[in-house]
Structure formats: structure tokens, C-alpha cells
Chains A and B, each alone.
Chain A
Amino acid sequence: MDSKLADAAQIAPPKPRASAALLRFLKAPTALIGVIGLTLVVGVAVFAPILSPQDPYDLMQLDIMDSRLPPGSESFTGVPYHLGTDGQGRDILSGIMYGLRTSLIVGIVSAFVAALIGTTLGLLAAYLGGRGEALLMRLVDLQLSFPTILMALMVLAILGNGVTNVVLAIIVAEWATYARTARGTALVEREKEYIEAARCLRIPARRILLRHMLPNCLAPIIVIATMQVARAIGLEATLSFLGLGASVTQPSLGMLIANGYQYLLSGLYWISFYPGIALLITIVCINLVGDRLRDVLNPRNAR
């Protein structure tokens, strides 16, 4: 039999139409706020070189004599520091814009790669079963029993500092979550009739996995991935705060917060406060979107 026919013959649940899903998604005001906020944040990060008053990574543009100026001050050359400066004379506003880039890149890349690895392994485990599955899932159990931060710290201790290594550390720390979810969903799907039908039709395993099982497992993975972007950003901030993240001259949001932490007692609040707010907004927006996505993609909530 023609395999195209076989695909058409599958008895998968009906897919919701994309436009309808989008409409349903935007019905909740929280989701709307999330989307608008997220668009803004991403826009600022993408256009940081155009929008920011200063290139905070260019040592030439920093002046130690401008350090720790309060919000609203002006530099020697008349550049305004809307949100003040940090201990190196770095404009906080520019620092936030560039810091968002680092944070978002780290968050998205690490969540995406971890999802890719985790989902693949989870699906394989579910489909193949047997010893491979047991081994993989015990590994997942073992890893999930460690606190994420500890896992990331261990990886960074071995690899050393740097943004790339932070991404790697987050991937290592987070893939297990995807693997477990993917396997769980796939196990349910595996028992369904359409898979059985596909097997009976002798469709190759690869094809069953990619074309039949994966699409039907995707909904929870997407939801988790969204949330994990926020988690990864938070984790990166934590690692940078501990001094294990980005380079000192190219600070991410977490490092900006860390730089100002020591001044909190003496009233120089802006060095930590504004980057903290930026981090908060980013993570809240992503979580709002993720929450709504979960509601929309959950078949139980479909009316």
C-alpha cells in the first residue's frame, strides 16, 4: 500500500485550526499583556545597538569618573544616564538593553537544544521500551533528583566561565525534564489505535516516530519549552550573579544585578533595581504566554 495513503488513514485526534487557536489564545487578557510585553522586550533586545544611548561593551565609551551616578544624571559629554550608572560608569539603561540580548539568547538557545535532545531521547525510550528505556529513565530520575542549580554549577566548575558554557550547563541541567515529559506522553500515544494501525501497515519506525507520535506529543513539550525559556533566563541570571556567567565587561542582567548588590545597603539602589525589574518583566511575560499556551493546547479545556 502507498505510504501516503497510510498517513491519510491515520486515526489521529482532529487538529485544531491555527487561526481559531490563536483567537482562543488571545481571549485571555493576561495572555495579551504577555504577548505585548514579550514583543517589547524582544524588540528592545534586537534593536539594542540602535536604541541604546551607549555601547556598554565598548570600554572606550565607559568612564570610571561617571561611576555610580544616580538616574537622570548626565555624562561629561552630555549623554544622559536615564537610569543611572554602575560602578564602572556603565549606563544602566544601555546595560539592560544589551543584557536582555544575552539573557534571551541564552534562554531560547538552551531551551530549544534541551528540548530537542530531551524529546528525541524521551520518544525513543517510549517507542523502543526494554532495557534502553529503563536505563535512560533511571538516568533522568537520577538527574532530576539533583537541584538544577547544583547541576549547572558542577558543569561550570568543569567547563569554566563564559556564555557558551552557561548555555551548555543549562542544557545539561534541563534536558531530563523534556525527556520525562516526552516519554510520558509518547507512552500514552503508543497504545492508541492509530499507532497500532501504522505498525500493522509496516510503516518504518522512524516515520512513525516523526510523523505520527511526535506531532501528538508536541503540545506539552511546547508548553514546557516556553516555561523553560523563563527558567533558563532565571538560571543564567543566578549563575552570573554568582560570578560564573558572562564576561565582566559584557554583563548580562544577572551580572548587572550582582554588580549593584553590594551598594544596596548604602542607598545606590538603581544599579541592581532596574536590571532586576527588566528581568522580572521578561520572565513574567514569558510565563503568562506559557500559561495561556498550556490552557489552549490542553485538549481537556477545548470546548
Chain B
Amino acid sequence: MTRRGFHASVLALVAATATPAFAQDAELSIGMAAPITSLDPHEDSNSPNNATSRHIWDSLINRGGSAENKPQLAESWEVVDDTHWRFHLREGVTFHDGSAFDADDVVASLIRARDKESQAFASYTRNISEVIAEDPLTVVVETAVPDPMILNSLSRIRIISSDYAEADVAEFENGPAAVGTGPFKLVSYTPGDRVELERNEDYFDGASEWSKVTLRLVPDNGGRLASLLAGDLDLIENLPAEGVARVESSNGMKVIRGQSTRLVYLGMDVSRDESPFVTAKDGSALGSNPLKDARVRKALLMAMNREAIVDRVMQKNGTVADQYVAEGFFGHSDEVEHVAYDPEGAKALLAEAGYPDGFALTIHGPSGRYVNDSEVVQAAGQMLTRIGIDTKVEVLPWSVYSNNYSNGEYSLFLGSWGVNTGEVSNPALAVVAGRDADKGTGRYNGGGIDVPEINDLLDQATASLDEAEREPLLQEVSKLTFEDTWLLPMHYENVVMGARTGIEFKPRGDKYTLAYEVKSAE
């Protein structure tokens, strides 16, 4: 036994029993569904990049799978005042090149991310005005305004070595600058093909059980599935719905399901007095916008057989949604009631609102953006037709659709929001808050929703740093939004992965696939 192997096995005994097989030479190949655009952790912010960079680098805060903030390079933190946060750094952490981690690295990383030309992380760094190293293990972050989401923001910025603060993108992609404190070291990166990693034996949280990890970039659904079935990959992201039965029936393969925080909803034009795609059944003008009436909106929701959509269209790869976030997430309101499928009740409500014979409308949706998006829109069209609303379905390419819907050009449209922060203010500010360019709210509010009570609650919630104070405010936002049916919540997209049976992985809400969290069941 080599000295190193001996070392590792002693460590294995000492380490928590959660990682029983960790000192063995075990290799893991993951099929990623979307390509990464850069290995520079501050160059471009998108899920595949950020998931990949988490293998090599750590952040101050560790964002858990259910969007909880846990210590990572910062061992603990405290609020000094409304605009100052003090972080106590972990002692004894080293970078892959052996140099020690300290406060200078944090300062260099946060400033680099903030000032980088690409401005990819601007939404996370815009409030950071100054980062001060008080001593080698203490950092104070000063924000321009009180920022309750600062922990979430910091969890997104990877901490690089201050030696490479000036390094450009190429130096990260060729390797020399790709030195982090994370659980894996970079071996090689082939753009558009793969990232090869090896275990960081000295990882502060215990070395991974995988000695070698390959992240294969396989955007093609069929190719990814075929590679899994052929045994080239151990775990694949976004198992296509039509491949689920195939994987389930294969020996030694399994499907891993989890809930994501992506809410799919139908938005309605509630601002105009006459909506462009709502007419009387004979095509003449209706003279009013029925969608402004809360009873009509409720009737639309009662018409939706959402269980059937999840079961038949999503092929069980979704969960029926009733509000922004599922139970257990910050801002979920217990007072929002599930609206059951009830076409007769919906017709009665329409009649009560003054539309006993219904009306005609066009529902718009994208194709190829969300899971089964065009099928969901068609199914919704069927269901509306059944309560006496003559429905036309129009599906457009995402490039055309994305601008049109967020600018409020449609009457009834499919929308979706990935709740990356795992709390209600994130979707509510973007989708339901009144449109206000200065405050940066309502950017994706395609229905023109503008409810003063909701706006006020959101203003209060975003100005407060106290979680205990924020929670009831956001719960009230959830309640007000769905009590008056300002949005029609459809479902949360599920995370569906394929794996060989020896692999255990709990899918994360943000859909990141992290090798460090993959365990072997053997």
C-alpha cells in the first residue's frame, strides 16, 4: 500500500460514514444536457457554467439543493448593520496549487466578478460597494443599500486565488488559472466535449468518493440517452420523457426524479380594457376584457385539469402547482387553497360574471423552451374549449415569443420562472410586481398586473434584512397573488435524470448536477 493510499484509508475511517467508499478509485461520467460557455467562473452566468464551476471552486456560502444557505468558505457570518456583513473565513483551506486561502482571495474574487467586462454577475454584485479584509480570516462586505439577498448573491460567486485576479478567460480554460479550493481539480477541458476532473484529496469537507469525474457535454437528447444505455455515462441530466420507459425497463438502469423550482404558469392580460386576442364568438369586439374579472380568471383555472396535464402531457415529470413555490420554500403560504378541476363550476362562474355563452380567445405559447411547452398550451386550449371558450392555439419559436410575451402583446400566454433563489420575492418581483424600469421590477410581467398591495408588500420585503420579518410579508404576497388568480399556476417542472442503479443522487432545486453530491449505493 502506498503511503498516500494508506493516508487516504485512514482518513476514510475517520470521515463520516456517509461516504463509505471514498478512498477507492472510482470513476464517474456525467452527461450534461447543456454545453458550458466558459470555464472562467466570472465570465458568463448560466446554469451549466455555474454548476461546472462549483466542482472546481467554492463560494463563501454553499447553496444547498433546497436553496438553503450553508457555510462553505465562510464558516459563519453576522450582520454588522443594514449595509455591512462580516464573514469569518474557514481556517486551513488550501488551493489546488498548495497556496493558502485567505481574505485577499475573497476580496479579489468579489471585485473581479463585479468589475468584469462581461457584467455577467451584475445582478448579484450590483449592491456590493466595497469588500474589506479586516484580517486574514475576516472579510466585511459593504452594500450600497440594504440587501436581504446578499447571502444568495455571494453563494453564486466563486472564490478564485488572488494570484489569478488579473488572469483572462484563456488562462482559466487552458488550466493554469483554474485553481480553486473545490472538491475537484481540473485535468483538462475540451470545449463542446468534456471537462475532466480528479479528486482533491485535501478538500476541507472530506474528499469525494470519485477519484476521477468526467463531465460530458451532450446536448442531444437521443445521444445522451443512448450513451447512458450503452454504459458510457453513469448519470445523465434531462432524461427525455419518451426515454423514461426505456430506462425503467432496462436492467441496471433507473430514473431519478426530483422537484425543481421552475414554475410554469399561464399569464393573462389584466390591464387593457379590450384585449387584442379576446373577442366574442363571432369574432366581433367584445367591448370589455373578461380577464380583468377575478371570477373569469378563477373559472379559467377551474377549467384546467392540471392533474391530467401532469399525468398525460408531462408524463408525470411535473407536480401540480398552486403558488409560486412548493411547500417548504420561503414565502409559501398555507392559506392558498388548491383550486380543483371543475368544468361545471367554471361555466357557472363565467355565467355569473356575465359571459354565459363564453367568448373566444387565442392562447399563445413558445415551442422548445420549456418541457413540452407546445403540448401544454394545446391541452390548455382543449380544456378552455370545454367550458365554452372558443380557443385558438398559436405556438411560436422562442426567439419571437420571448420578447412578445414579456412585453404584454398577448391575452393569454404560457410563462415560466425558474425560482433560483428558492423564495417568493424572486418570481413575484419579475412576473407580478408592477412594471417599473427604475426599480427593476415587473420586467416579465406580461399581463400588466399592477396591484398596489402586492407592490407595497414586495417593497417592504426587499428592504428588510430580517428573515422573520420577511417571511410573513412574502406569504401574504403569495396569498394575494393566487387568491385573486393573477396568474394561473400550472405545474412545477420536475428534474428527471437517468442513472445506473449503483448511483445515488438527490436532484437539486436549481437543477445543478454536482459530482460531489453523487454517491454510490454499492
Contacts and interface: CB of A to CB of B under 8 A. Distances in A.
B414 to A, nearest CB: 13
A18 B163 CA distance: 90
Contacts of A247: 393-395
B308 A64 contact: yes
Interface stretch (B96-104, B371-379, B419-427): B371-379
A268 B225 CA distance: 17
A31 B245 CA distance: 45
Interface string B376-411: 011101110110000111111100000000000000
A87 B245 contact: no
B382 A265 contact: no
B312 A59 contact: no
A28 B139 CA distance: 91
The bracket for how many chain B residues form the interface is 20 to 34
A59 B381 contact: yes
B367 interface: yes
Interface in B127-177: none
A80 interface: no
A268 B244 CA distance: 13
Interface string A170-193: 000000000000000000000000
Contact of B313 (A62, A67, A243): A67
Given A266-B246, A267-B245, A248 B395 contact: yes
Max chain A C-beta neighbours (<10 A), residue from B378, B385, B392? B378
Given A62-B382, A87-B375, A262-B242, A248 B313 contact: no
Contacts of B381: 59, 249
B367 A243 contact: yes
A243 B394 CA distance: 12
B309 interface: yes
Interface string A254-266: 0000000011111
A89 B385 CA distance: 15
Given A60-B385, A63-B382, A249-B378, A265 B391 contact: no
A88 interface: yes
A177 to B, nearest CB: 29
A174 to B, nearest CB: 25
Max chain B C-beta neighbours (<10 A), residue from A247, A262, A263? A262
Given A64-B313, A247-B393, A265 B386 contact: no
B308 A65 contact: yes
B392 A249 contact: yes
Nearest to B308: A64
Interface string A263-278: 1111110000000000
Contacts of A59: 378, 381-382, 385, 391, 393
Contacts of B378: 59, 88, 248-249
Nearest to B384: A59
Given A64-B309, A88-B378, A249 B393 contact: yes
Interface residues of A, number: 23
Nearest to B375: A87
Contact of A262 (B240, B305, B367, B383): B240
B231 interface: no
B382 A67 contact: no
Nearest to A62: B382
Contacts of B356: none
Contacts of A264: 242
Interface string A1-25: 0000000000000000000000000
B5 interface: no
Nearest to B221: A262
Nearest to A248: B395
Max chain B C-beta neighbours (<10 A), residue from A59, A87, A89, A264? A59
B210 to A, nearest CB: 29
Nearest to B400: A160
B312 A65 contact: yes
B379 to A, nearest CB: 5
A249 B312 CA distance: 17
A256 to B, nearest CB: 14
A226 B385 CA distance: 41
B64 interface: no
Interface in B295-330: 305, 308-309, 312-313
Contacts of B393: 59, 247-249
Contacts of A265: 222, 225, 242-243, 246
Contacts of B368: 243
A250 to B, nearest CB: 9
Contacts of A67: 312-313
A175 B394 CA distance: 30
A135 B345 CA distance: 68
Given A248-B378, A265-B225, 12 more contacts: A64-B305, A65-B308, A65-B312, A88-B378, A247-B393, A248-B393, A249-B393, A262-B240, A262-B241, A264-B242, A265-B242, A266-B245
Interface of A: 59-60, 62-65, 67-68, 87-89, 161, 243, 247-249, 262-268
- Which A-B residue pairs are the 9 nearest by beta carbons? A59-B385, A266-B242, A64-B379, A249-B393, A266-B245, A59-B382, A248-B395, A67-B312, A262-B242
